[in-house]
Amino acid sequence: KNEVEQSPQNLTAQEGEFITINCSYSVGISALHWLQQHPGGGIVSLFMLSSGKKKHGRLIATINIQEKHSSLHITASHPRDSAVYICAVRTSGSRLTFGEGTQLTVNP
């Protein structure tokens, strides 16, 4: 079993829908990252969380340390949100362990 599990693996939505991507992990962590990867592009950091909730524009990330679970929400989704969203946890020192990613497609 992977230390970081994401669901769903693939998600298709219509423009304007509310989207949730989930991440569960099985190890002790010091922080959790949500990353975004566009087709053919690099990886950018969206959020880094160690507790609670963060919001940036239409994106919201939450984490429940006791339940070892995090969610990434996108409100009023748009086709430009189409990308792979990756959850990564920071374990010992500065090492990151990654989930497999969630491929999101938002149709107009």
Cβ closer to another protein: 60 or 96? 96
**Residues within window 24-43 making contact with another protein, judged by CB under 8 A:** 29-31, 33, 35, 41-43
What DSSP string describes 1-55?
--SEEEE-SEEEEETT--EEEEEEE-S--SEEEEEEE-TTS-EEEEEEESSEEEE
Q: Which of residues 43-102 bind another protein (CB under 8 A)?
A: 43-45, 48, 50, 86, 88, 90, 93-101
Torsion of CA 34, 38, 42, 46, to 10 degrees: -20
In this complex, which beta carbon is closest to another protein, that of residue 77 or of residue 104? 104
Residues in touch with another protein (CB under 8 A): 2, 4, 29-31, 33, 35, 41-45, 48, 50, 86, 88, 90, 93-101
